């Protein structure tokens, strides 16, 4: 099968050499119809024009084009129907064990979440969004079933399943902006820039900085088992240096060295994507920036918000009653400061989402890599954006009644429907800091 796909890919690229820059991937699928005809799905990014002369068939099989960077608007329409002022606490959930079975069974699946609204009639041009609690599934290309697999279930745990098109991706960016930027030292093949998250006191009296692992590690380095990180760190030395953007010097300066990382390589790491950087003693701690945007969240725009030092205890989804527990004593609004979007406000939406991230070529990794379970889903406010690529690693804070901040977790990525995902800080601290100090 792989040989046929490689041959077809070479044939298409020989006819349309411009597609070499569009990171295409090929797969065999069945159409979701009674006849279930076999097609060859070509996923691409960028723009394909009529003059490119894409063939209608490859090796006698109908060729279907799919631009994975522009999924249909169905998921966004449904998600935006829920602009609530309170955390959705009565949505159905799926356990981590059930989620991993679904990811293994359906290679096209990218997100398992929930919704108060269900989509109907989108493919027939009669789209309606009805109020009905359901299990929400995102997939790469709706209407097509990968060869050898089954359709998605109609119901899970007694709740209807709503399938929409979209995917999740990490939030690494390449833009250079003032304040909050962090990256691996020059010369290392890493994805780009991310955001400075926050700081922790280490047992040796120094300060540690936390950001996402995918921000400061290359793709190959992310595949190193977490259990082997200690020996890897000892052997790399200054190759693990990290730089931050110094606003006073107007350039990047080395600020510390990576000492640990955790990344989803198996079910044993509790779905954490994080890196710990030991800061150089000469580096001053960073303050929460003062910005005009503070006023919209009810803060004094002339003063930095106060972080209490509290880490929010996020309850796990209840596997018996299938509902989410409320995050007690906290506002449903959350804030973050990232290097790309700076200070933004969002709403708590769902605790218990399961994610499989799509890489930059539009491919899904295998079932042991980059699957993150029981993440917190954050919704942007109307006419606002909570998270964009480049914000990975930014800490997300709950707002206390007295306008102080408590740390909820770390932003790791976003979906095409407009939500952001946050890993609870309690998990990050246990796996990244407490277990090595």
Mean pLDDT value of segment 383-393: 89
**For the segment 56-77, what is each residue's pLDDT rounded down to a tens digit?**
887 788 888 888 778 889 998 8
Q: Residue 329: is its pLDDT beyond 70?
A: no
Question: Which structural domain range is residue 238 located in?
Answer: 181-279
**Averaged pLDDT score across all residues of the chain:** 80
pLDDT value at position 99? 93
- Asked if 165 and 217 sit in the same domain, the reply is no
Across 58-72, 131-145, 159-173, 239-253, the highest mean pLDDT is recorded for 131-145
Say yes or no: 306 and 405 in one domain.
yes
Q: CA-to-CA distance for 20 and 23, rounded, in angstroms?
A: 6
Could you give the number of structural domains in the chain? Answer: 4
What distances in angstroms separate CA 199 from CA 41, 94, 185, 251, 320, one per listed residue? 45, 33, 20, 22, 36
Region 18-45 average pLDDT: 79
b/e for 175-210, b at 16 or more Cβ within 10 A? eeeebbbbbbbeebebbbbbbbbbbbebeeeebbbb
pLDDT of residue 174: 44
* Residues 127 and 29 reside in one and the same domain: no
Sequence-distant contacts of 400-403: CB under 8 A, at least 24 apart: 400/308, 400/329, 400/330, 400/331, 401/329, 401/331, 403/298, 403/299, 403/305, 403/306
Say whether both 333 and 416 belong to one domain.
yes
- Mean pLDDT over residues 347-351, rounded? 87
Of 148, 170, 192, the last residue of a domain is: 170
**Spatial contact of 70 and 160, defined as CB atoms under 8 Å apart:** no
Q: What is the secondary structure of 190-249 as a DSSP string? A: ---BEE--EEEE-TTS-EEEEE-HHHHS-HHHHTS-GGGHHHHHHHHGGGGEEEEEETTT
What distance in Å separates the CA atoms of residue 93 and residue 377, rounded to the nearest whole number?
13
Strand partners, 57: 62
Same domain, residue pair 306 and 412: yes
Query: ∠ CA 353-358-362 to the nearest 5 degrees?
Result: 150
Does 366 map to a domain?
Answer: no
pLDDT of residue 63: 84
**Cβ count near 318 (within 10 Å):** 13
Which residue, among 274, 243, 271, has the nearest Cα to 256 in the 3D structure? 243
415-431: buried (b, 16+ CB within 10 Å) or exposed (e) per residue?
bbbbbbbbbbbebbbeb
Query: Side by side, which strands form the sheet with 181-184?
Result: 194-195, 181-184, 241-246, 251-262, 274-279, 207-211, 198-201
Same domain, 310 and 413: yes
> Has residue 337 been placed in a domain?
yes
Instruction: Specify which residues 168 forms β-bridges with.
Output: 357, 415
* Rounded Cα gap, residues 83 and 153, in angstroms: 28
Q: Single out the residue in 42, 67, 92 at which a domain terminates.
A: 67
């Amino acid at each position: 099968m792989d040989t046929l796909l490689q041959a077809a890919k070479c044939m298409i690229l020989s006819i349309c050499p411009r597609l070499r820059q569009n990171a295409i991937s090929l797969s065999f699928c069945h159409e979701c119809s009674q006849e279930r005809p076999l097609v060859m799905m070509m996923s691409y990014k960028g723009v394909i024009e009529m003059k490119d002369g894409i063939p209608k068939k490859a090796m006698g099989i109908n060729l279907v084009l799919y631009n994975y960077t522009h999924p249909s608007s169905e998921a966004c329409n449904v998600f935006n129907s829920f602009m609530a002022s309170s955390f959705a606490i009565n949505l159905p959930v799926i356990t981590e064990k059930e989620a991993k079975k679904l990811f293994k069974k359906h290679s096209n699946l990218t997100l398992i979440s929930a919704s108060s609204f269900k989509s109907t009639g989108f493919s027939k041009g009669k789209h309606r969004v009805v109020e009905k609690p359901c299990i929400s599934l995102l997939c790469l290309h709706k209407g097509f079933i990968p060869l050898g697999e089954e359709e998605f279930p109609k119901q899970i745990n007694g709740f209807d399943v709503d399938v929409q098109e979209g995917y999740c991706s990490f939030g690494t960016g390449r833009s250079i902006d003032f304040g909050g930027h962090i990256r691996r030292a020059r010369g290392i093949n890493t994805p780009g820039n991310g955001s400075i998250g926050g700081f922790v006191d280490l047992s040796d009296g120094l300060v540690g900085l936390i950001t996402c692992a995918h921000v400061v590690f290359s793709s190959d380095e992310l595949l190193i088992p977490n259990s082997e990180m200690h020996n890897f760190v000892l052997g790399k030395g200054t190759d693990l240096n990290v730089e931050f953007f110094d606003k006073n010097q107007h350039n990047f300066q080395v600020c510390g060295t990576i000492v640990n990382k955790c990344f989803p390589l198996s079910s044993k790491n509790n779905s954490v994507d994080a890196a710990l950087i030991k800061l150089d003693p000469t580096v001053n701690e960073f303050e929460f920036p003062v910005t005009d945007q503070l006023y919209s969240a009810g803060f004094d725009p002339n003063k930095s918000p106060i972080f209490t030092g509290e880490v929010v205890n996020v309850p796990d989804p209840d596997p018996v009653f299938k509902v989410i527990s409320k995050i007690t004593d906290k506002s449903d609004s959350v804030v973050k400061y990232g290097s790309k979007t700076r200070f933004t406000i969002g709403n708590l939406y769902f605790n218990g989402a399961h994610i499989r991230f799509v890489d930059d070529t539009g491919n899904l990794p295998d079932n042991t890599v980059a699957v993150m379970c029981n993440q917190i889903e954050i919704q942007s406010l109307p006419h606002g954006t909570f998270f964009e690529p480049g914000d990975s690693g930014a800490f997300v804070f709950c707002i206390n009644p007295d306008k102080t901040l408590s740390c909820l977790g770390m932003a790791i990525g976003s979906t095409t429907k407009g939500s952001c995902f946050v890993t609870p800080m309690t998990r990050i601290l246990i796996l990244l800091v407490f277990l090595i100090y």
